[in-house]
Amino acid sequence: MLTIKDLFDLDHTIAKDYLAQFTYPWEALAGIKDFILSVGPTLEDYDEVSPQVWVHKTATVAPTAFLGGPCIIGPETEVRHCAFIRGSALVGAGCVVGNSVELKNVILFDGVQTPHYNYVGDSILGYKSHMGAGSITSNVKSDKLPVVVRCGDERIDTGRKKVGAMLGDFVEVGCNSVLNPGSVIGRHSIIYPTSCVRGVLAENSIHKNDGTVLSRK
């Protein structure tokens, strides 16, 4: 349940071939910037609105939003008032990057919504996943040691000090939830509002805000 194949339908991102090189999604984090720089100049129907910032002609970007390069903003995507894209952000088609949302070193698959006051850093959000208002990905441990992904008794050292969350396709994250460093959320799972999530949540699960986990099946 931890691999890219387990979590994502790669047909819903222009990073398909890039991601297919890796087994685990966090392995792709180191190369997001270089991937954007390599593919950006080749894109059709995009305008390079500032150096290394490519925005599709059908995307809508509020004049108060900040787009830091390198980044790609896909077709029909809406970047709203005061969004802050710090760079190394690949935002797919039909996405919402909302009011006061901050993105850094991320891949957002098509249809992802981060609409209100979200921080998403060093993370990958799968097709049509949704972050409720105020929910964030925490990407650095308090002890600043490399992030370890924990799945039952299995421990995988990512070798990175900054790893946020890996959200599978169709994941719903409730308002004001915190996804701790190295969280992996399986496809079609739901996280209740105000939850504090650690480790791995299997696909088709419900994570309640008291930590209880139920199956949706």
Boundaries of domain holding 111: 4-215
pTM of the model: 0.96
Q: Which CATH number characterizes residue 154's domain?
A: 2.160.10.10
| pLDDT tens by residue, 81-119 | 999 999 999 999 999 999 999 999 999 999 999 999 999
Contact 107, 151 (CB under 8 A): no
**Total domains in the fold of the chain:** 1
| pLDDT tens by residue, 51-64 | 999 999 999 999 99
> pLDDT category, 70, cuts 50, 70, 90?
very high
